Amino acid sequence: MPLDPAVRTGKLANGFTYFIRRNTNPEKRVVFYIVNKVGSVLEKEDQRGLAHFLEHMNFNGTTHYPKNELISYLERSGVAFGADLNAYTNFNETVYQLPLPSDDPELLKNGLQIMRDWAHGALLEPAEIDRERGVILEEKRMRSGFDQRLLEKSLPMSLNNSIYSRRLPIGTEQVLTTFKPAQIKSFYDQWYRPDLQALIVVGDIDPARIEKSVRAIFSDLKNPAKEQQRQKISIPLTGDEHFLKYTDAEAPDSRITISYKFRSPMLRTRSDYREKYCEASLISCSLSGSMT
Ligand SMILES: [Zn+2]
């Protein structure tokens, strides 16, 4: 699909890509995103949960914001953790998001510096790692329950036994409690690298100035000497029918679910895109003439 011509984009010599777009509604606001093509599907068996763990560690000490100075600096600047500042890790990607006022040059400059720290500036201090293990185990415990057990049981069938069915981002208790700092550092150095990263900046900013700063502070990022290829994993359709019966002492009701598997549609045109969004939002396009 053609890229919006208002987006200023480019790739640095190290492969780091940027997309910058001026948008003045709302005024005096900007949102930065750093997108890493790094998710749980890249984990080996003894790394299960580390992609998500790294996401947490990027808030627990980076080059310019040791310990938890990042959160306290942003909170002093009026950015609330959770509501504004946020991040997620899924099978394929880890994305960090930082919205800021754009009319304070100091804050804008620091915003880009935070993005640079997130790209490859996590300190990964052993004491901070140990502290975070408990936080993540608690996150895992909060999610566990009937729905999670059903998901874990049914994923191998719905994902045709592909590696995706064994890589829920939260990881395994075994890895989360026992991995060594060197293991997370090696995962970090292997995958948090400029040729798998992009910066997105959208807001009430001057794209030419932002581009200049991006070139100045992201060009020194380096790809690892022995770079592993990021494999694209597809899940072939088998055409077979599968059945699964699952009982659970905490099941709140009885359910029958029928799923049909399709080849994932390619997004090539605007109308492909429109269709994707219509399906996702469960709105009937045909009934809503004004939707574009
Ligand atoms: Zn988390």
Domains delineated in the chain: 8-254 (3.30.830.10), 262-292 (no CATH)
Burial (0-12, 13-18, 19+ Cβ within 10 Å), 8:
middle
Q: How far is the CA of 138 from the centre of ligand 1 (A)?
A: 10
| Range list of H helices, 170-262 | 173-178, 181-191, 207-218
The CA–CA distances, whole Å, from 207 to 36, 155, 212, 253 equal: 22, 43, 9, 54
Under 8 Å between Cβ of 34 and 199: yes
Residue 56, token pair as written in the block: 């947490």
pLDDT, position 291: 32
pLDDT, position 289: 35
Q: How far is the CA of 10 from the centre of ligand 1 (A)?
A: 31
pLDDT, position 284: 44
Residues catalogued as catalytic: 55
Q: How far is the CA of 275 from the centre of ligand 1 (A)?
A: 31
What is d(CA 42, CA 231) in angstroms, rounded to the nearest whole number?
8
pLDDT, position 1: 79
3-state SS class at 215? helix
pLDDT, position 288: 36
pTM of the model: 0.91
Q: How far is the CA of 135 from the centre of ligand 1 (A)?
A: 8
Segment-wise mean pLDDT, segments of 10 residues, the chain, 292 residues: 92 98 96 97 97 97 94 88 85 95 94 97 98 97 93 93 94 98 98 98 97 97 94 87 94 91 85 84 45 31
Residues with CB under 5 A from ligand 1 (ion): 139
What is d(CA 119, CA 114) in angstroms, rounded to the nearest whole number?
9
pLDDT, position 279: 80
Residue written as tokens 């053609």?
Answer: 2
pLDDT, position 276: 84
Q: How far is the CA of 56 from the centre of ligand 1 (A)?
A: 6
